[in-house]
């Protein structure tokens, strides 16, 4: 305790006060497991085996960044419909596992062991499960990513025959769609921290700085507020709109007076994401940008107003779209106007025509209208909210109608 406080960037007050949540309660996990087993019964599967970061964390409570950066060893969580859950993990991980997961029943193997990274162990466990349906669930379905080599999954499928390998992603999707109050609290913390970080940017960046500078300034601001990391940040700048480039490299393009800076971000904390952008004009906004941002503000308002139990994801799209089409905009092939979020940056459902997922309390959603500005340029506003019994609660502080200015 000998060094000056001012040299310790990681020890500001907000971090201590807000940034570290206690592990989810035992009751929270009991509820998840109980719900999972109910859905497993309805879907006629005798158990499930997950290896992905999101599903392993979601069901077991295990927390570690190691497995998701080091693919040499897979980690498994095994949940039969009847009987005890088991962590099937590399031997050297046992100490870390029991520190964070509620599940204290472990089956381990000495890893790396390239010829058999846990597959014989898993097959034995699956074959030993009390069976009613003859089907065992693994992660096969939409928007899933397994945390093991596919070859091992195919070997496991052969080893458990005649037990059938079924999909369990539908089960987990149903569970994860509705967030508990403790999950919402994490996402809300992230939204507030990222709002604060955005609010601080006009004091940190301006004309002459690069898009990369803007990205790094945001990273430091949001992490200084106690957030673990900012895995996704996309800054883009341009005159009267920015290139539609959400997935692309960060650039060293400099911000120029009169441009708009769009910054999308997904900051992450203790296994949860927020996902929203903010916009800044470098000096005064052009008339074109001011009109477009006002229209997008009204579109966002309409989407937010439509967010209540009983409405569908499609309804959120149409509410936002109507404001734009009423103003004479031809939408074209615009994609979606928002989506679910939580343990992933993007989750089902999609606010787009055809997605009739019904909103229920506990669903966390983005409201995200966009406007094509000519050429490939685009403008976007995005907010995060949670559906409540009587409508919704904002998780972000709304971006003002007239967006913030950076020094020109």
In the range 250-309, which residues lie near a copy of itself by CB under 8 A?
251-252, 266, 273
Mask for 58-97, x = binds a copy of itself (CB under 8 A)? -----xxxxxxxxxx--x--------------xxxx-xxx
Considering only the C-alpha atoms of the chain, give the largest distance between any 2 of them, rounded to a whole number of Å. Answer: 69
Nearer to a copy of itself, 167 or 399 (CB): 167
Give min distance, CB of 96 to a copy of itself, in A: 3
What is the rounded CA–CA span in Å between residue 48 and residue 121? 15
Give min distance, CB of 280 to a copy of itself, in A: 13
Q: Taking contact as CB under 8 A, which single stretch among the options 38-46, 124-132, 178-186, 339-347 is the one that binds a copy of itself? A: 339-347
Question: Which of 235, 231, 234 has its CA nearest to residue 267?
Answer: 231
Six-digit token string for 1: 């305790």
Mask for 223-242, x = binds a copy of itself (CB under 8 A)? x-----x-xxxx--------
The answer to the question of residue 203 lying near a copy of itself (CB under 8 A) is: yes
Residues whose CB falls within 8 Å of the CB of residue 225, separated by 6 or more in sequence, listed in order: 12, 14, 15, 18, 19, 193, 196, 197
Q: Taking contact as CB under 8 A, which single stretch among the options 37-45, 292-300, 332-340, 385-393 is the one that binds a copy of itself? A: 332-340
Q: In the 8-state DSSP scheme, what is residue 245?
A: -
Residues whose CB falls within 8 Å of the CB of residue 40, separated by 6 or more in sequence, listed in order: 46, 47, 48, 81, 137, 168, 171
The answer to the question of residue 130 lying near a copy of itself (CB under 8 A) is: no
Question: Which of 220, 201, 219, 221 has its CA nearest to residue 209?
Answer: 201
The answer to the question of residue 346 lying near a copy of itself (CB under 8 A) is: yes
Q: Taking contact as CB under 8 A, which single stretch among the options 128-136, 302-310, 343-351, 356-364 is the one that binds a copy of itself? A: 343-351
Question: Which of 280, 312, 303 has its CA nearest to residue 394?
Answer: 303
Using the rule CB under 8 A, which residue among 27, 154, 294, 360 binds a copy of itself?
154
Give min distance, CB of 65 to a copy of itself, in A: 5
Using the rule CB under 8 A, which residue among 124, 335, 356, 358 binds a copy of itself?
335
Give min distance, CB of 1 to a copy of itself, in A: 4
In the range 24-63, which residues lie near a copy of itself by CB under 8 A?
63
Residues whose CB falls within 8 Å of the CB of residue 181, separated by 6 or more in sequence, listed in order: none
Using the rule CB under 8 A, which residue among 104, 130, 132, 145 binds a copy of itself?
145
Q: Are strands 260-269 and 276-282 parallel, antiparallel or unpaired?
A: antiparallel
What is the rounded CA–CA span in Å between residue 257 and residue 224? 28
Cβ(396)–Cβ(383) below 8 Å: yes
Spell out the alpha helix ranges (H) of 181-335: 181-200, 211-224, 287-306, 313-326
Give me the half-sphere count of Cα atoms (radius 13 Å) on the Cβ side of residue 43.
25
Give min distance, CB of 34 to a copy of itself, in A: 24
Mask for 106-125, x = binds a copy of itself (CB under 8 A)? ----x-x-x--x--------
């Amino acid at each position: 305790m000998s060094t000056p406080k001012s040299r310790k960037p990681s020890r500001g007050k907000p971090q201590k006060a807000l940034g570290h949540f206690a592990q989810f309660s035992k009751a929270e996990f009991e509820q998840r497991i109980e719900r999972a087993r109910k859905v497993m019964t309805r879907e006629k599967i005798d158990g499930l085996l997950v290896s992905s970061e999101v599903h392993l964390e979601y069901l077991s409570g295990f927390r570690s960044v190691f497995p998701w950066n080091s693919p040499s060893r897979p980690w498994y969580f095994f949940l039969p419909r009847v009987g005890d859950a088991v962590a099937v993990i590399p031997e050297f991980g046992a100490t870390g596992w029991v520190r964070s997961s509620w599940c204290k029943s472990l089956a381990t193997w000495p890893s790396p062991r390239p010829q058999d990274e846990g597959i014989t162990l898993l097959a034995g466990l699956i074959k030993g499960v009390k069976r009613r349906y003859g089907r065992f669930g693994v992660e096969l379905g939409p928007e899933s990513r397994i945390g093991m080599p596919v070859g091992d999954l195919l070997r496991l499928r052969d080893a458990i025959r005649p037990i059938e390998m079924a999909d369990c992603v539908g089960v987990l999707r149903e569970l994860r769609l509705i967030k508990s109050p403790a999950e919402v609290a994490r996402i809300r913390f992230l939204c507030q921290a990222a709002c604060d970080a955005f609010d601080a940017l006009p004091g940190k960046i301006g004309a002459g700085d690069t898009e990369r500078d803007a990205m790094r300034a945001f990273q430091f601001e949001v992490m200084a507020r106690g957030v673990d990391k900012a895995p996704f940040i996309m800054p883009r700048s341009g005159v009267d709109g920015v290139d539609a480039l959400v997935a692309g490299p960060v650039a060293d393009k400099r911000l120029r007076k009169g441009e708009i800076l769009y910054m999308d971000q997904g900051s992450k904390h203790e296994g949860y994401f927020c996902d929203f952008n903010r916009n800044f004009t470098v000096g005064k906004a052009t008339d074109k940008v001011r009109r477009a941002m006002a229209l997008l503000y009204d579109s966002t308002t309409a989407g937010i107003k439509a967010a209540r139990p009983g409405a569908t994801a499609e309804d959120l799209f149409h509410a936002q779209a109507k404001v734009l089409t009423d103003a004479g905009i031809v939408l074209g092939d615009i994609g979606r106007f928002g989506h679910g979020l939580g343990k992933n940056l993007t989750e089902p459902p999609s606010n787009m025509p055809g997605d009739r997922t019904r909103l229920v309390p506990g669903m966390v959603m983005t409201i995200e209208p966009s406007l094509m500005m000519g050429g490939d340029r685009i403008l976007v506003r995005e907010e995060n909210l949670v559906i409540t019994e009587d409508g919704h609660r904002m998780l972000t502080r709304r971006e003002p109608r007239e967006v913030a200015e950076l020094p020109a």
